[in-house]
Structure 1
């Protein structure tokens, strides 16, 4: 009797399990299709980095163009290091990213902790929304916000300088202030996103730990130091490792749109992405831009491995893999 009941129930259980699997796979399918179409299939185009890409006029499809293009080896990579701007470009790319990784982490964690300490939810949500809003703006819009202050003819700062009888500063022709301007612009636009991530991690901390610490006489600073920051440590490390992987990538919109593509500012604003774009517009050679992108991803991959290895030696539980 019991065996017959088990055999009767088992098909229904198997059917329910299959239905659940199909539902989960259907939820996964859009993301998987997107990943295959936009991330894996385009990897075939990596071969262009080693070719002098030409259009095959008889049948100008992408496959025919790749097949009939001449192989040039690593020649497409040479333009990244052959000019006098190479060192300046690499220095700016790595320098800005290293600075912003440190500042972005410290400021985002500080803002997240401060927001978590606000007792009134309406005020906290208002601050959170105002900080997160710039993240959704394009750099084109942000560049015009900045131009409203820096424009030598109609800008607010220029107007104040004129009213004070001072000489108007030609901001788009002077290199010295732009590292500070670009840093402020980057933090203004991106710090809200990082703050929300850390704030979400803080809200997941068990409130009983703070209550116990408060009963034991711990101050707010001691609670932050011994409870909040240790709980944020894994997320800080993971985001740090991922950021290191993009250390030779740069935000094209920030470095191209915000300085308004001003030639005199190239020593300060020229980074790898803008350099590749300008080289492509001048030479119309997709092989060089593909080579630059491939180099960025390969270097980023090894940077992630290196950073993760260092973290694993220091604290194995906090490593990414």
Structure 2
């Protein structure tokens, strides 16, 4: 949608606003999140109280945290991907769109037959890289943003958090090393498989 904006000032403003969260540390983000989820002074609980409902103890309710973590991670990370996709879209030859318009193609047809096929290389590259890190979670998100609350460990206990706690709290170096080895081994295996599949789809694409 941004690629169809005629106002360059609006486009730059949206890109800047989308990219800004990428440069914020998880410590800063955790305070922003706490301002929304605090039991006594949080924005959401104040809204619930004003509507006549009881406040929610967010940091003691593990059921809501999968959605909160997904939304928070998407808000912080999508700006970086946005810049990469916009760079690829900008590099697409404009004559392809002009020819499609002459042939009577509408916007959705141009997206399906021009934009998305031209974006396939970057889609495959990001897919391969992300699959390689599928077991590696953002430690700051799962540890710092959740305030390390023990009540929600069922939703926030990932391999990275477990490794950190096993190392720092219990000095269990064996379990920490085994967990890290498992992450790297599975990640490497998935990366190779994803790269193999990508080359089967298109022999010219892939990162290995």
Q: How many residues align?
A: 208
Instruction: Write the distance in 1 (CA, Å) between the matches of 2:119 and 2:55.
Output: 46
Distance 1:160 1:298 in 2: 46
Once residues 93 and 170 of structure 2 are traced to their aligned partners in structure 1, the CA distance between those partners, rounded to angstroms, is: 58
| 1:215 counterpart residue number | 102
TM-score, length of structure 2 as denominator length = 0.96
Report the alpha carbon displacement of residue 136 of structure 1 after superposing the two structures with TM.
Answer: 0.3
Once residues 116 and 192 of structure 2 are traced to their aligned partners in structure 1, the CA distance between those partners, rounded to angstroms, is 25
| Cα displacement (A) at 1:315 | 2.5
- Between the aligned partners of 2:62 and 2:179, the Cα distance in structure 1 is 26
1:141-290 map, 5 Å: 141-290=28-177
Q: Deviations over 1:210-229 (max 9, x none)?
A: 11111111111111111110
Contact 2:166 2:173 in 1 (8 A): no
Q: Which residue of 1 aligns with 2:15?
A: 128
Secondary structure of the residue aligned to 1:261 is coil
The structure with the larger Rg is 1
What's the C-alpha RMSD, in Å, of the aligned pairs? 1.2
1:300: how far off?
1.1
- For 1:311, the equivalent position in structure 2 comes to 198
CA distance in structure 2 between the partners assigned to 1:202 and 1:294 by the alignment: 38
Task: Say which SS state the counterpart of residue 62 (structure 2) adopts.
Answer: coil
Q: In the aligned structure 2, how far is the partner of 1:254 from the partner of 1:162? A: 28
Q: Residue 115 of structure 1: CA displacement?
A: 1.1
Aligned-partner Cα distance in 1 for 2:180–2:68:
27
* Deviating more after overlay: 116-125 vs 310-319: 310-319
CA distance, structure 1, for counterparts of residue 172 and residue 37 of structure 2: 35
Q: Distance in 2 between matches of 1:218 and 1:263?
A: 56
Q: Give the CA deviation at 1:194.
A: 0.3
